[in-house]
């Protein structure tokens, strides 16, 4: 078992506490399986938690690089929107708002992906350290079921697309038989990005429908994208409601033995 030096208390007592069952998927649709390459550690002296990337550093860096162009595109849309806001306020401000949102979410994406790399470096492997006695586990906190009882986590799936993590989904099963899934904040951020991009593409496509030479294919494309965008928004609202409203955390459950 790998022991790492804890960055918080400087003791050689941090051990891996979670195996990540991984699957390659996109917005809930499974497309095979592959390694996510991340490990959750917990320090057995102070209880500090951190996540490291087990995969090669180059592959881990590929994730943030994918999102960097979106930071640039978002920034350019923001500037372009602000410039044209004087002559066309609705179009300019709309474009600027979307550009700003895209840039902000992309920056969050880069930070989320670079975080585990920083933790890998801050909490180095302690090669000769003995395995410490187990004081803290990593039982995820329970969430409230629709029936009012606390429901424990029965399954955790870390989703990824081309080795880019796209969120973690925890399934809770209650003793009343109900089952519900809650996404982590990163999953919600990633989903916001996808829904925002699809919505804007749908809006741009529907723009051409008001011209005289609009083709049947253009209607199908715009209609399909609009449906996709609407479906994405409904799923997004449902996931946000599940996490923050329908299934709140139950206080004082889990975390310590
Ligand atoms: Zn510690
Ligand atoms: Zn229940």
Say yes or no to pLDDT of 11 above 60: yes
Mean pLDDT of 77-95: 87
Is residue 257 pLDDT above 70, yes or no? no
Residues contacting 52, CB < 8 A, separation 6+: 4, 38, 39, 41, 116, 119, 120, 123
Q: Smallest Cα–Cα separation from 143: which of 180, 168, 176?
A: 180
Backbone angles phi, psi at 75, to 5 degrees: -65, -40
Residue 78 has pLDDT above 70, yes or no: yes
Looking at per-residue pLDDT, the higher value among 64 and 256 belongs to: 64
**Backbone φ and ψ of 251, nearest 5°:** -65, 150
More confident of the two residues 147 and 222: 147
The CA 165 to ligand 2 mean position distance, Å, reads 30
pLDDT bracket for residue 62 (50, 70, 90): low
209 CA distance to ligand 1 middle (Å): 60
Ligand nearest to the backbone CA of 149: 2
At 207 the pLDDT is 73
15: CA distance to ligand 2 center in Å?
A: 33
Residue 54's pLDDT is 55
Are 67 and 61 in contact, with CB atoms under 8 Å apart? no
Considering every ligand atom shown, identify the ligand nearest to the alpha carbon of residue 126 and give its number: 1
CA neighbor of 52 nearest in space, from 110, 2, 100: 2
Residue 145 has pLDDT above 90, yes or no: yes
Q: Which residues in 159-179 are b (16+ Cβ under 10 Å) and which e?
A: bbbebbbbbbbbebebeeeee
User: What pLDDT was estimated at residue 60?
Assistant: 61
**Which has more confidence, 185 or 147?**
147
For 163, residues 6+ apart whose C-beta sits below 8 A from its C-beta are 34, 36, 37, 55, 59, 62, 63
Supply φ then ψ for residue 163, to 5 degrees: 70, 5
Listed in sequence order, the residues at least 6 apart from 219 whose beta carbon sits closer than 8 Å to its beta carbon are 209
The pLDDT-based confidence of 197 (bands split at 50, 70, 90) is confident
Question: DSSP per residue over 135-168, as a string?
Answer: ----PPPPEE-TTSSEE-EEEEEEEEETTEEEEE
Calculate the average pLDDT of the chain. 81
- Tokens standing for residue 40: 């959750």
Tokens of 163: 């080795």
Length of the chain: 257
Average pLDDT over residues 127-152: 88
Tell me, in angstroms, the distance from the centre of ligand 2 to residue 180's CA.
10
122: pLDDT strictly greater than 50: yes
Q: How far apart are CA 61 and CA 110, in angstroms?
A: 9
User: Which is more confident, 80 or 216?
Assistant: 80
> What is the CA(242)–ligand 2 centre distance, in A?
14
């Amino acid at each position: 078992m790998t022991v790492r030096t804890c960055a918080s208390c400087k003791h050689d007592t941090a051990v891996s506490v979670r195996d990540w069952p991984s699957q390659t998927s996109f917005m809930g649709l499974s497309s095979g399986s592959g390694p996510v390459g991340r490990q959750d550690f917990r320090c057995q002296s102070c209880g500090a938690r951190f996540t490291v990337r087990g995969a090669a550093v180059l592959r881990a860096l590929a994730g943030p690089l994918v999102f960097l162009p979106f930071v640039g595109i978002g920034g350019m849309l923001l500037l372009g929107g602000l410039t044209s806001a004087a002559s066309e306020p609705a179009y300019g401000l709309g474009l600027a708002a979307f550009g700003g949102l895209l840039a902000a979410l992309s920056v969050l994406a880069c930070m989320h992906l670079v975080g585990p790399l920083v933790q890998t470096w801050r909490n180095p492997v302690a090669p000769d350290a003995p395995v410490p006695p187990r004081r803290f586990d990593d039982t995820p906190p329970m969430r409230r079921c629709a029936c009012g009882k606390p429901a424990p986590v029965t399954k955790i799936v870390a989703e990824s697309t081309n080795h880019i993590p796209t969120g973690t989904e925890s399934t809770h099963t209650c003793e009343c038989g109900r089952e519900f899934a809650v996404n982590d904040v990163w999953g919600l951020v990633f989903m916001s990005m996808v829904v925002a991009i699809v919505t804007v593409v749908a809006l741009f496509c529907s723009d051409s429908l008001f011209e005289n030479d609009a083709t049947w294919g253009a209607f199908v494309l715009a209609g399909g994208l609009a449906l996709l965008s609407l479906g994405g928004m409904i799923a997004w609202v449902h996931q946000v409601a599940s996490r923050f409203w329908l299934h709140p955390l139950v206080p004082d459950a889990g975390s310590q033995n």
